C-alpha cells in the first residue's frame, strides 16, 4: 500500500483521459435526424420553388419556430429527468441544444443573405433600430458560448461548476427569444404566449428545485478546513492517497492511474458508480443513483468529494 502527498484538483490532460467514448444510440440518432428534417425539407422546397409567394418570410418563420421549439425542448430535459428519473434523457439535451442553435443560425442567415441581400450594414442598422430584432440578436449571442462549450472537453476545461454556471445562459437566451417572438407576432399571439408560459414554467421549476437542493446542502458535512485533504483508500487495488477536498474521486482515480468508467461527468448517467465502504462524501448532483444505490452506499465518482477519510471499491459490472 502506498501513501503519498495530497492530490490537488486535476489538470486538463490528467482528467480528459477518463472520458469514455459512448456510441450514439438508435433513439438519439432518430432524434437528431428528425431534428434536421425541417431544414432539409426547407432547402428542398426552396430549390424546387415550393415556398409560396413569399419564400423568405416562409424560411424565416420555419427556422424561427423550429429554433424556438427546440430551445424549449432543451430546457425541458433536466426537469423531465428529475420528474421521471429517466436518466438516459440526459443524452438528448446536447443534440437538442445544438439543433436549436443550428436553426437560429439558419434563421439569421436567411435574414442577412436573402432578406437583406448580404448587406451587413443594412442588417445591422435594422437590428439596432428594431426592438424585436435586438432581442433576437441577444438570444443568438447568448446561445453562441453554449454551443461552443457543449462538448465534454469543455466541461473538463472549465470545471463542472463553472461550465454549469455558464450553461445557465440558456434561460436568458430563451427569455430573449420569447420576447423576440412575441414582439414580432403582432395580432397572432397565442403561440408566442404558449412558448413564454413554457419557458417561465421551466424557469420556475429550476428555481424551486435549486432552492430545495440548497436546503439539502445545508445539512451536508462541511469541509474540515484544518485538514483540507483526506485519505482515500482504493481497497481492491491496495492504493491509498491523500486528495484535496475539492477533487472528485473520478479526477483522483485518473491521477492514481486507475481508469474508472465515466460518461456524462455530470452526475446523471450513473456510469461512474462506486461503492463507499467507509467515510463521508458530498455530491453536487446525484440523479444517476437509484434508491437501491443510495441504500447500499453507492456513490458517483464524478461528483463525490471527500469530507472524511474514505475507503472505496469498484462495482463489478454485470
Q: What is the contact surface with ligand FES in residues (CB under 6 A)? A: 262-265, 267-272, 288, 300, 302
User: Least distance (Å) from ligand HEM to the CB of residue 202?
Assistant: 15
| DSSP labels, 233-299 | EETTTTEEEEEETTS-HHHHHHHHT-----SSSSSSS-TTEEEEEES-EE-S--TT--HHHHHTTEE
Strand order in the sheet with 239-244: 239-244, 229-234, 310-314, 273-278, 298-300
Given ligand FES, ligand HEM, none, residue 136, with its beta carbon under 5 to 8 Å by kind, binds: ligand HEM
State phi, psi for 59 to the nearest 5 degrees: -65, -45
Given ligand FES, ligand HEM, none, residue 39, with its beta carbon under 5 to 8 Å by kind, binds: none
Cell of residue 54, nine digits: 413569399
Measured CA distances, 98 to 113, 127, 148, 202, 211 (Å) = 22, 24, 9, 19, 28
Comparing CA positions, the residue from 15, 1, 2 lying closest to residue 301 is 15
* Strand-pair partners of 278: 311
229/271 with CB nearer ligand FES: 271
21/49 with CB nearer ligand FES: 21
Given ligand FES, ligand HEM, none, residue 256, with its beta carbon under 5 to 8 Å by kind, binds: none
Measured CA distances, 309 to 23, 30, 143, 229 (Å) = 36, 46, 42, 9
Given ligand HEM, ligand FES, none, residue 95, with its beta carbon under 5 to 8 Å by kind, binds: none
180/273 with CB nearer ligand HEM: 180
User: Least distance (Å) from ligand FES to the CB of residue 95?
Assistant: 17
Given ligand FES, ligand HEM, none, residue 270, with its beta carbon under 5 to 8 Å by kind, binds: ligand FES
User: Least distance (Å) from ligand FES to the CB of residue 248?
Assistant: 9
136/152 with CB nearer ligand HEM: 136
Measured CA distances, 197 to 93, 188, 201, 249 (Å) = 20, 16, 6, 40
User: Least distance (Å) from ligand FES to the CB of residue 94?
Assistant: 13
Given ligand FES, ligand HEM, none, residue 19, with its beta carbon under 5 to 8 Å by kind, binds: none
Return residues touching ligand HEM (CB under 6 A).
57, 60-61, 64-65, 67-68, 71, 104, 107-108, 111, 127, 133, 136-137, 139-140, 177, 180-181, 184
137/260 with CB nearer ligand FES: 260
Given ligand HEM, ligand FES, none, residue 67, with its beta carbon under 5 to 8 Å by kind, binds: ligand HEM
User: Least distance (Å) from ligand HEM to the CB of residue 199?
Assistant: 11
22/244 with CB nearer ligand FES: 22
81/139 with CB nearer ligand HEM: 139
For residues 52 and 278, give the distance between their C-alpha atoms in angstroms, rounded to a whole number. Answer: 69
Cell of residue 283, nine digits: 455530491
Residue 7 DSSP class: B
For residues 102 and 108, give the distance between their C-alpha atoms in angstroms, rounded to a whole number. Answer: 10
311 neighbors 235 (Cβ within 8 angstroms): yes
Amino acid at each position: 500500500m502506498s501513501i503519498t502527498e495530497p492530490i490537488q484538483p486535476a489538470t486538463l490532460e490528467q482528467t480528459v483521459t477518463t472520458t469514455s467514448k459512448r456510441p450514439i444510440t438508435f433513439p438519439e440518432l432518430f432524434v437528431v435526424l428528425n431534428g434536421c428534417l425541417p431544414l432539409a425539407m426547407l432547402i428542398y422546397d426552396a430549390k424546387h420553388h415550393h415556398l409560396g409567394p413569399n419564400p423568405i418570410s416562409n424560411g424565416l418563420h420555419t427556422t424561427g419556430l423550429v429554433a424556438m421549439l427546440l430551445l424549449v425542448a432543451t430546457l425541458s430535459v433536466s426537469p423531465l429527468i428529475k420528474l421521471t428519473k429517466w436518466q438516459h434523457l440526459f443524452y438528448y439535451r446536447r443534440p437538442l441544444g445544438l439543433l436549436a442553435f443550428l436553426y437560429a443560425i439558419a434563421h439569421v442567415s436567411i435574414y442577412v443573405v436573402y432578406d437583406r441581400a448580404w448587406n451587413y450594414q443594412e442588417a445591422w442598422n435594422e437590428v439596432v433600430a428594431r426592438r424585436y430584432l435586438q432581442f433576437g440578436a441577444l438570444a443568438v449571442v447568448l446561445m453562441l458560448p453554449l454551443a461552443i462549450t457543449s462538448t465534454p472537453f469543455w466541461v473538463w476545461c472549465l470545471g463542472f461548476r463553472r461550465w454549469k454556471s455558464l450553461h445557465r445562459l440558456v434561460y436568458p437566451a430563451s427569455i430573449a427569444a420569447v420576447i423576440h417572438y412575441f414582439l414580432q407576432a403582432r395580432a397572432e399571439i397565442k403561440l408566442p404566449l404558449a412558448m413564454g408560459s413554457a419557458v417561465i414554467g421551466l424557469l420556475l421549476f429550476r428555481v424551486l428545485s435549486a432552492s430545495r437542493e440548497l436546503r439539502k446542502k445545508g445539512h451536508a458535512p462541511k469541509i474540515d478546513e484544518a485538514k483540507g485533504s483526506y485519505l482515500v483508500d482504493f481497497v481492491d487495488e491496495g492504493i491509498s492517497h491523500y486528495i484535496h477536498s475539492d477533487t472528485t474521486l473520478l479526477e483522483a482515480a485518473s491521477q492514481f492511474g486507475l481508469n474508472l468508467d465515466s460518461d456524462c461527468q455530470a452526475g446523471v448517467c450513473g456510469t461512474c458508480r462506486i461503492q463507499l465502504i467507509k467515510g463521508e462524501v458530498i455530491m453536487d448532483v446525484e440523479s444517476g443513483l437509484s434508491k437501491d444505490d443510495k441504500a447500499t452506499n453507492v456513490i458517483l465518482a464524478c461528483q463525490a468529494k471527500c469530507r472524511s477519510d474514505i475507503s472505496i471499491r469498484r462495482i463489478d459490472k454485470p
